Structure 1
Amino acid sequence: MGLLLGDELPDLTVPTTAGVMKLHDFAAGSWLMVCSHPATWTPVCTTELGRLAQLQSEFDKRGVKVMGISCDRVEDDAEWIKDIETWMAGSGGCKVTFPIIGDTDRSVAKAFGMIQTEHPSDSAGMPMTVRNVFIFGPDKKLKLTITYPASCGRNFDEIIRTIDSLQTTTGKSVATPVDWKVGDACIILPSVSDEAAAEKFPQGWKTADLPSGKKYLRIVEMPKE
């Protein structure tokens, strides 16, 4: 079935391009983003990991550790990195510093729920995986997951936006509206009464005047902390 929101990061011991690691030790109380890729030396994955490496500083600023997963050997992943960095040389360059898991036996893919059904196996008869993004909080609980088909490369600017939303809303009694970005107003959760909101948001808020007459859309400044 795979991981559902709120599930804990599996504490697997995995081979990576940075050596053998335990996932819980790598996460170590930080935010963690795990990105899966069907295979090394594939075109879409090459462009994705290159862009991810270019954006490494953005994840660092947000306290987010990054880890990749491929279904090939760690030795192949290490060689593949050379192609990734060469490809990105024409668009600003990059240095791949995050670890990539070599999931040759699909144990990680099975634990995370990434086995693809549309194309069930590769040329060696092993099950294929989908492109997944998993974001875990410092509590090691899954906060967000996005699944892409093999034909669609990810937009990491959007993924960063979702991380900003998660970090802005966690424990703040707010949600972020459509197309929200850092600095924009937020929405007070419906579960928060006006009385509780007055304590949490002394600066006040604006309630939308809607035809239903219901006062559920309360707009408030983005929390500062």
Structure 2
Amino acid sequence: MSLKLGDEFPNFHLKTSAGDFQFHEWLGNQWGILFSHPADYTPVCTTELSRAAKLAPEFAKRNTKLIGLSCDTVENHHGWIKDLQSYAGSVCSDGACKTVSSGEFAFPIIDDSDRKLAKQLGMIDPDEFDTKGLPLTARAVFFIGLDKKVKASLLYPATTGRNFDEILRLLDSLQLSARLPIATPVDWKVGDKVMVPPSVKDEDVQKYFPQGVQIKNDLPSGKSYIRMAQV
């Protein structure tokens, strides 16, 4: 299976560090971010999941649940979570990871030791293997909307740790464009002006952007397709 933008994310039955559940039911009426990592007890993955745990309150503010995945067992996850908590300083800002209890960690970690999900979702890294010669997962990220459909995806090799500030920025853009007919320009962040796509008719501009839009009229082409607005 190769998921494309707009595809419904499969409703897998998951075995995780926080118990077993159906993915869609666990998500409920919230956005979701599923991200895979190559293996527990590895250096880059430890920095990533520790960072994600620290940022969990920020994702919660955005009505978004996090869930990790690797080709390790739940038992491995339970032990590794203690390292994650220690590396992160043992205290998350919302108190979600003060203790070493895996059930109280900031988010669940999926047991994909049979590689089933990694293969179905196209997350296998062709260059990374465990000590038994079995393939490991790449650093994939899936953004899942309220309608349970894929809104964005990222895929990094095992050698490159992800930027969770960028993951938050992308989530902000996705959620804003889900509410308003806008697009976000290069390097956009919350508070910056957005772009009004050409698909938004002039008669609808006042409806969505009562504060008005700024139009760039001095392009060599003479076309007025760059329209900016503050939302």
Category of TM-score, reference length = shorter chain = over 0.9
Could you tell me which residue of structure 1 aligns to residue 147 of structure 2? 139
The superposition leaves residues 73-118 of structure 1 with CA deviations (integer Å, 9 ceiling, x where unpaired) of 00000100011111222xx744232100010011111222101223
The count of residues paired between Structure 1 and Structure 2 equals 219
Could you tell me which residue of structure 2 aligns to residue 28 of structure 1? 28
TM-score by length of 2: 0.90
The more displaced of 67-76 and 170-179 is 170-179
Could you tell me which residue of structure 2 aligns to residue 213 of structure 1? 222
- Partner AA of 1:137 in structure 2: G
- Partner AA of 2:119 in structure 1: K
State the Cα RMSD in Å. 1.4
Percent sequence identity is: 49
**Offset at 1:215?**
0.8
- Partner AA of 2:83 in structure 1: D
Matched, 1:46 2:55: no
Matched, 1:162 2:170: yes
Matches within 5 A, 1:71-150: 71-89=71-89, 93-94=91-92, 95=97, 96-119=105-128, 121-150=129-158
Kept in 1: contact 2:125–2:158 (CA 8 A):
no
* Counterpart Cα distance in 2 of 1:101 and 1:114: 14
Could you tell me which residue of structure 2 aligns to residue 66 of structure 1? 66
The superposition leaves residues 182-205 of structure 1 with CA deviations (integer Å, 9 ceiling, x where unpaired) of 111110012112222233323211
Deviating beyond 4 angstroms after TM superposition, the runs of 4 or more aligned structure 1 residues are none
**Offset at 1:162?**
0.8
**Offset at 1:123?**
2.6
TM-score by length of 1: 0.93
Q: Tell me the secondary structure at the aligned position of residue 135 of structure 2.
A: coil
Kept in 2: contact 1:29–1:140 (CA 8 A):
no
Kept in 1: contact 2:125–2:157 (CA 8 A):
no
**Offset at 1:171?**
3.8
* Counterpart Cα distance in 2 of 1:109 and 1:29: 25
- Partner AA of 1:106 in structure 2: R
- Partner AA of 1:17 in structure 2: S
**Offset at 1:54?**
0.5
Q: Tell me the secondary structure at the aligned position of residue 128 of structure 1.
A: strand
* Counterpart Cα distance in 2 of 1:114 and 1:63: 25
